[in-house]
Amino acid sequence: MGNTPAHAAHDHDHGHAHHHQESWVSKYIFSQDHKMISKQFLITAIFMGIIAVALSVFFRMQLGWPGEKFQVLNFFLGDKFAPDGILAQNAYLALVTIHGTIMVFFVLTGGLSGTFANLLLPLQVGARDMASGFLNMLSYWAFLISSIIMVSSLFVEGGAASGGWTIYPPLSALPQAIPGSGTGMTLWLVSMVFFIASSLLGGLNYVVTIINLRTKGMKMTRLPLTVWALFVTAILGILSFPVLVSAAVLLLMDRSFGTAFYLSDIFIGGEALDVTGGSPLLFQHLFWFLGHPEVYIVLLPALGISSEIISTNSRKPIFGYKAMVGSILAIGFLSFIVWGHHMYVTGMNPFLGSVFVFTTLLIAIPSAVKAFNYITTLYQGNIRYTPGMLFSIGLVSTFVTGGLTGIILADSALDVNVHDTYFVVAHFHIVMGMSAIFGMLAGIYHWYPKMYGRMMNVKLGYAHFWLTLVCGFGVFFPMHFVGMAGAPRRYYQYTEFPFLDHVMDLNPIISVFAIVGGLAQVLFLFNFFHSMKYGQKAVTNPWGSNTLEWTTPVEHLHGNWPGAIPEVHRWAYDYSNPDHEEDFVPQSVPLKPGEHGH
Amino acid sequence: MADEREFVDDHDHVLHHERDVFLVAWKYYYRKDRKAKFFAHDNRLEMVWTLIPGVAMAFIIVFGLITWNKMTGPASKDALQVEVYSKQFGWIVRYPGADGEFGAYSYNLLGSDNPLGIINSNVIKTKIAELDSSISGLQKQLEENKMLPVMPESYVETLQDKIFRLERHKQRILDIDEIKTTTGKSDWETGADDRISSSEMHLPVGKEVEFIFRSQDVIHSAYMPHFRAQMNTVPGVPTRFKMTPTITTKEMREKLGDDSFDYILLCNKVCGAVHFNMKMKVVVESEEDYAKWLLAQKTFTPKKKEDSKETVPADTAKAPTAMAMVK
């Protein structure tokens, strides 16, 4: 037995989907349907992503050609932030800060978890909708409000927050230290409060749905890996985001109410500030307690998505399902006890640093297991190279590359030389700006037929993939060398240091790749929006996939299945099973007499 | 000949691997008439690729932490101590004087004449007098306004707030404790002979130096990439880092064939608009040259004319006391 769908599901079920009287507003704007909400998250995240990419193109122009005048900069940023077409110093830091903030939170958390948890969880566990459609709707609207506030912070007088996405005090606490720490920083904090509320509402919904609303036969051990990944991600978020809230509340108090949580012995703006006894390290501990699990919140859904796509398109079971689940759990648990590796050179007690070296290197082990399992899944497969498949394989490749530099950074003795240099920038962009984004793009290409009932154009998809892969490596690989040579990050320009001259020849090259790579995304955007109306109409199960979402009709139904919810009899990975003629066997297909299911 | 062949062979090796990737991609390309290998799990394989990374990680942990403990352990008793002070947007370095001790400091005493906030009774007296005169000036304005109200209410409040803050500042100064150091002197006096430089930092080659870092306003980071040294400077929390420079600037210039090379200290934690240009030249030189340079730096309290004629011993080996002075 091992599974008990909640009685609530039975009560609501009545053997057929609900037929609400839906107005245009309740269907498209204030929807409580998980499929519509997932598309809302996706479209909002795409818009935020366009802004973040644009910001990065702007500051890469400054870095590649310092002192050159660019009319386009003045056009977008105005006379205050790009006078005469040259990016101003404070504006540079503001762009870098908002770029990072939008990418980590709005694109890779809201756009990954928000989209795919909403789309896939009820469908893949066999539920009519999320546990609470109402909270789900609130989760999206909080996300939208948060996005609007964050973008609006770019337009205030002193500029947006400028202390990096990590907003360390005292820089972020004192408007005298940098103009962006005035209104811009306040808006950042308000936006994040809404964002965190959205994440918490969403996360709670996802956890409850997975635990309570699985259909008959959907044991935890039969869940697709995507569900496992999104489940652990939701738990990570629920446990870690509140700590960021506490960090933000204390920061708000230091900024506005004269407290001294993070401040002590400061002389600035000609004045000795009347706050003593606080420590900036407190903020860093609180921030990174979220900050580290956050990057796994970014990565795990991408890994879960790729498991599905690689397995389906190799026509092979994902290799080592139990080990994959175990790795997800191990990564989830370990992600809570490694945060100090961001703080090796902060003046923290070195012994504490050693503890974090140990735990951080431990987390490399389940990550390696996953990488090996992905590769073995491909081994002797019957492989279809769809755009989604290419991006998923690309995720595995970039995950290995970025993961290896993570091992170097985990070693505190080595980190001393590369902390806060471009080496770190290379590392996290390859794992987040390539791996995780690839996971998101793979998911979009693969589940587009489920979201929009049409197929995306394959040729455009291939062009998008190859351009993005090449440009991504073109931007971020040289940064390893730039960083090892000693180039700090968050520098407005590198013209002041003769010892960096030879490395700075790389800057224009990186910038060219960044601009081309940014423009290449137009291929994706065009494909995405154009195919909604003109893409080839999809069939119910275009990929020959086993999971339950492909048993629902192409046309969206509130309540997902027109009749009863299917019962599940096997795991999600019977691809090329020798006991069956078809090279795939959906989860809802009963066992043959004498067959041992998984 | 052999070397060239090896070079070509190595490249062939790499090219073969690239070719193999495409071969594999083509060989396992989807065909309707075949099925993939149904290979769902293999516990032995999982063991292998869990244990091997595990062993590799164990090695990295052990050797990494041995190095880390050496790097972060206590400095030797006769290490040179140098205080590196950071602020938006520059550095100031302080060396303990002949007494071998740093003077105490307080951020409440910072001013253009006291960029490090070093304490002594004169400084305190002067600062208190300064604050008193500001306070009485503002109070006078308020008195005048009481007799003939011309100021808007908000401006009155601003002045009252200013007075309150100045009083608080004064109180913080009065609260500063005087501590006896291990040598029995007061830490309000040990700062008199400290030497300060805001243009360059010089270090004697082959001698362990322990940096003590302070920050005036926001978090900065003292990064010296050539020495593989880095440590954040945190307002309110002194931090430290020790190292031993082994190659002089002159030797390094010869090594690199670059006459303009200089070691450098740069800021490596975002700290504001000019974060990208916050640097200080670092010079590593012989103990002799270093001692000469140090004596040429100004002390916190400028000595009287007669005292400034300090002798530099011709041969430092014969005059260990001179080095002890500048320890």
Q: Which two tokens stand for residue A495?
A: 């013209």
pLDDT at A401 over 70: yes
| Closest C-alpha among A210, A218, A213, A217 to residue A8 | A213
User: In this complex, is the C-beta atom of A267 within 8 Å of any C-beta atom belonging to chain B?
Assistant: yes
> What's the pLDDT score for residue B188?
86
Residue A33, in any domain of the structure: no
pLDDT digits (tens, 9 = 90+) for A435-459: 999 999 999 999 999 999 999 999 9
Residue among A319, A420, A499 whose CB faces B221 most closely? A420
Hey, are the CB atoms on A488 and B268 less than 8 Å from each other?
yes
Averaged confidence pLDDT in chain A:
93
Residue A168, in any domain of the structure: no
Please name the residues in contact with B265: beta carbons below 8 A apart, sequence gap of 6 or more. B84, B91, B201, B222, B223, B224, B279, B280, B281, B282
Hey, are the CB atoms on A383 and B239 less than 8 Å from each other?
no
Which DSSP symbol is given to A562? Answer: S
Alpha carbon distance B221, B237 (integer Å): 13
Whether B64 and A412 have beta carbons less than 8 Å apart is answered as yes
Query: What one-character-per-residue DSSP string does B114-155 give?
Result: BTT-B--HHHHHHHHHHHHHHHHHHHHHHHHHHHS--S-HHH
- Same-domain status, A558 and A526: no
Residue type, A221: T
Q: What is the mean pLDDT of residues A88-116?
A: 97
**Domain residue spans in chain B?**
80-104+191-301, 120-174
Q: For residues A557 and B307, which has the higher predicted lDDT (pLDDT)?
A: A557
Residues 155-174 of B with CB under 8 A from A: 165, 168-169, 172
**Closest residue in chain A to residue B54, using alpha carbons only:** A365
Q: What is the mean pLDDT of residues B67-94?
A: 95
Residues 313-352 of A with CB under 8 A from B: 314-317, 319-323, 345-347, 350
pLDDT at A12 over 60: no
Q: For residues A273 and B13, which has the higher predicted lDDT (pLDDT)?
A: A273
- Same-domain status, A460 and A545: no
Q: B89 vs chain A: nearest CA distance in angstroms? A: 11
CATH number at residue A453: 1.20.210.10
Q: Which residues of A touch B49 (CB under 8 A)?
A: 368-369, 372
Give me the total of CB pairs closer than 8 Å, taking one residue from chain A and one from chain B: 249
Residue among A163, A350, A416 whose CB faces B228 most closely? A416
Whether A178 and A162 have beta carbons less than 8 Å apart is answered as yes
> What's the pLDDT score for residue A2?
40
Torsion angles phi and psi, residue B179, rounded to 5:
-120, 145
Alpha carbon distance A39, B14 (integer Å): 44
Residue A29, in any domain of the structure: no
Residue among A164, A272, A317 whose CB faces B169 most closely? A272
Alpha carbon distance A165, A556 (integer Å): 38
- Same-domain status, A397 and A460: yes
Which DSSP symbol is given to A341? Answer: G
Q: Which two tokens stand for residue A184?
A: 């811009």
Alpha carbon distance B260, B281 (integer Å): 12
- Same-domain status, A553 and A526: no
pLDDT at B302 over 70: no
Hey, are the CB atoms on B221 and A380 less than 8 Å from each other?
no
Regarding beta strands B209-215 and B80-87, do their DSSP bridges make them parallel or antiparallel, or are they unpaired?
Answer: parallel
| pTM, full prediction | 0.91
Give the dihedral of Cα atoms B301, B303, B308, B314; nearest 10 deg.
-40
Residue among A362, A369, A583 whose CB faces B46 most closely? A369
| Closest C-alpha among B96, B101, B92, B106 to residue B299 | B96
Regarding beta strands B80-87 and B90-95, do their DSSP bridges make them parallel or antiparallel, or are they unpaired?
Answer: antiparallel
Please name the residues in contact with A2: beta carbons below 8 A apart, sequence gap of 6 or more. A219, A220, A221
Alpha carbon distance A270, B169 (integer Å): 13
pLDDT at A564 over 70: yes
Burial of B141 (0-12, 13-18, 19+ CB in 10 A): middle
Alpha carbon distance B268, A488 (integer Å): 6
Among A382, A497, A502, A543, the strongest candidate for a mutation testing the B interface, having the largest count of B CBs within 10 A, is A382
Residue A309, in any domain of the structure: no
User: In this complex, is the C-beta atom of B30 within 8 Å of any C-beta atom belonging to chain A?
Assistant: yes
> What's the pLDDT score for residue A30?
87
DSSP three-state, residue A555: coil
Residue A389, in any domain of the structure: yes
Q: Name the band, by pLDDT with cuts 50, 70 and 90, for residue B295.
A: very high
Alpha carbon distance B135, B142 (integer Å): 11
pLDDT digits (tens, 9 = 90+) for A339-353: 999 999 999 999 999
Q: What is the mean pLDDT of residues A147-175?
A: 96
Q: Which residues of B178-196 are buried (b: 16+ CB within 10 A; e: fewer)?
A: eeebeeeebbbbbbbbbbb
Residues 55-94 of A with CB under 8 A from B: 89-90, 93
- Could you give the C-alpha distances from A350 to A403, A416, A488, in angstroms and in order? 24, 12, 23
> What's the pLDDT score for residue B320?
35
Hey, are the CB atoms on A170 and B61 less than 8 Å from each other?
no
Q: ipTM greater than 0.85, yes or no?
A: yes
Domain that holds residue A454: 325-531
Alpha carbon distance A425, B131 (integer Å): 47
> What's the pLDDT score for residue B318?
34
pLDDT digits (tens, 9 = 90+) for A496-554: 899 998 878 999 999 999 999 999 999 999 999 999 999 999 999 999 999 999 999 99
Q: What is the mean pLDDT of residues A394-405?
A: 96
pLDDT digits (tens, 9 = 90+) for A566-590: 999 999 999 999 999 999 999 999 9
- Same-domain status, A408 and A455: yes
CA atoms within 13 A on the CB side of A209: 33
DSSP three-state, residue B215: strand
> What's the pLDDT score for residue A537?
96
User: In this complex, is the C-beta atom of B268 within 8 Å of any C-beta atom belonging to chain A?
Assistant: yes
Return the CATH architecture of domain B80-104+191-301. Answer: Sandwich (2.60)
CB atoms within 10 A of CB A567: 14
Q: Which two tokens stand for residue A5?
A: 């769908």
- Same-domain status, A363 and A490: yes
CA angle, B25 as apex, B24 and B29 as ends, to 5°? 110
CB atoms within 10 A of CB B5: 9
Residues 559-598 of A with CB under 8 A from B: 573, 575-578, 583, 598
Total residues found in chain B within this entry: 327
Alpha carbon distance B46, B39 (integer Å): 13
pLDDT at B127 over 90: yes
pLDDT at A13 over 50: no
What is the 3 state secondary structure string of A434-482? HHHHHHHHHHHHHHHHHHHCECCCHHHHHHHHHHHHHHHHHHHHHHHHH
pLDDT digits (tens, 9 = 90+) for A351-391: 999 999 999 999 999 999 999 999 999 988 999 999 999 99
Alpha carbon distance A61, A86 (integer Å): 9
Residue A431, in any domain of the structure: yes
pLDDT at B324 over 70: no
Q: Which residues of B touch A419 (CB under 8 A)?
A: 230, 268
Q: How far apart are the first and last CA of chain B?
A: 56
pLDDT at B6 over 60: no
> What's the pLDDT score for residue B37?
87
Residue A450, in any domain of the structure: yes
Q: Name the band, by pLDDT with cuts 50, 70 and 90, for residue B300.
A: confident
Residues 483-522 of A with CB under 8 A from B: 485-486, 488, 490-494, 496-499
Q: Which two tokens stand for residue B144?
A: 């005048």
> What's the pLDDT score for residue A4?
43
> What's the pLDDT score for residue A6?
43
> What's the pLDDT score for residue B9?
56
Averaged confidence pLDDT in chain B:
87
pLDDT at B11 over 80: no
- Same-domain status, A493 and A368: yes
| Closest C-alpha among A423, A262, A281, A264 to residue A353 | A281
pLDDT at A98 over 90: yes
Alpha carbon distance A574, A323 (integer Å): 17
Residue A384, in any domain of the structure: yes
Q: What is the mean pLDDT of residues A298-315?
A: 97
What total number of domains does chain A contain? 2
Q: Which residues of A touch B41 (CB under 8 A)?
A: 319-323
> What's the pLDDT score for residue B319?
33
**Closest residue in chain B to residue A162, using alpha carbons only:** B272
- Same-domain status, A556 and A409: no
pLDDT at A298 over 80: yes
- Same-domain status, A450 and A475: yes
CA atoms within 13 A on the CB side of A214: 23
Q: Name the band, by pLDDT with cuts 50, 70 and 90, for residue B305.
A: very low
Alpha carbon distance B201, B84 (integer Å): 9
Among A361, A374, A598, the strongest candidate for a mutation testing the B interface, having the largest count of B CBs within 10 A, is A361
pLDDT digits (tens, 9 = 90+) for B238-293: 999 999 999 999 999 999 999 999 999 999 999 999 999 999 999 999 999 999 99
